[in-house]
């Protein structure tokens, strides 16, 4: 608590019952060493109370990175709801589609960071959606996980031929889903060019 009172004294405050003269040092012990700090920018100086002449203060928040988006495509509303709940700890915006056509439109419109596709969907199968996305201009950069109740080796081979990055079997295990999605997002982030 003494450091707080020393700080207040430095800023011109008093400790109740004891007068402390403001001085150049906050810490009077030999353990404290002066720290060289870079000169503050006008906005930082303004926040610190010594606003530079002509400096403006912006109260706008710093720009944030685009929030992550995960698209889940499945024709079963209960599966969509379950997977959405499973993915909640990631903190991403979860988008849903009920068939292959809706999935393609959502991918085009929303540009998700990762796509989870059920293999057996109406209008277009997960295999078809995966192939179309991977053949598009931005498609190879979008990780796709196929979710299937099919356990045949031929289906995995077909998924690989379509460009799927990974597979999950139904019923989906929550921990396995989270691990794979987080690994895919990390790999996706690492592959993206760094913006300066």
Round to whole Å and give the CA distance between 190 and 40.
32
Report the pLDDT value the prediction gives residue 191, as an integer from 0 to 100.
73
Q: What is the pLDDT along the chain (196 residues), one digit of tens a residue?
A: 454 444 444 444 444 444 444 444 444 444 444 444 444 444 433 334 444 455 444 444 444 466 889 999 999 999 999 999 999 998 889 999 999 999 999 999 999 999 999 999 999 999 999 999 999 887 788 999 999 876 667 778 888 899 999 999 888 999 999 999 999 888 877 776 654 4
Q: Within the chain, where are the H helices? A: 2-10, 42-48, 77-86, 100-110, 126-135, 153-162, 174-191
Report the pLDDT value the prediction gives residue 117, as an integer from 0 to 100.
95
Q: Could you give the domains of the chain?
A: 1-63 (no CATH), 69-191 (3.40.50.2300)
Report the pLDDT value the prediction gives residue 8, as an integer from 0 to 100.
44
β-strand pairing of 144-148 with 114-118: parallel
Q: Which of 134, 166, 135 is nearest to 148 (CA)?
A: 166
* Interior/surface letters 37-56, b for 16+ CB within 10 angstroms, e for the rest: eeeeeeeeebeeeeeeeeee
Report the pLDDT value the prediction gives residue 141, as an integer from 0 to 100.
86
Contact assessment for residue 166 and residue 145, using Cβ atoms and an 8 Å cutoff: yes
pTM of the model as a whole? 0.64
First to last CA, the chain: 42
Round to whole Å and give the CA distance between 170 and 70.
19
């Amino acid at each position: 608590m003494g450091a707080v009172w020393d700080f207040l004294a430095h800023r011109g405050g008093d400790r109740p019952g004891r007068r402390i003269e403001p001085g150049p040092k906050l810490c009077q012990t030999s353990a404290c060493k002066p720290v060289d700090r870079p000169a503050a920018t006008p906005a930082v100086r303004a926040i610190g109370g010594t606003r530079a002449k002509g400096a403006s203060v912006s109260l706008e928040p710093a720009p944030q990175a685009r929030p992550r988006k995960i698209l889940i495509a499945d024709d079963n509303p209960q599966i969509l709801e379950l997977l959405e709940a499973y993915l909640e700890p990631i903190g991403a915006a979860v988008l849903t589609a009920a068939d292959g056509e809706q999935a393609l439109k959502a991918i085009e419109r929303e540009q998700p960071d990762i796509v989870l596709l059920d293999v057996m969907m109406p209008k277009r199968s997960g295999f078809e959606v995966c192939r179309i996305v991977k053949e598009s201009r931005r498609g190879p950069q979008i990780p796709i996980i196929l979710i299937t109740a099919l356990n045949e080796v031929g289906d995995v081979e077909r998924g690989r031929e379509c460009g799927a990055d990974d597979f999950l079997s139904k019923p989906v295990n929550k921990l396995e889903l989270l691990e794979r999605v987080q690994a895919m997002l990390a790999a996706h982030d690492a592959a993206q060019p760094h913006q300066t």
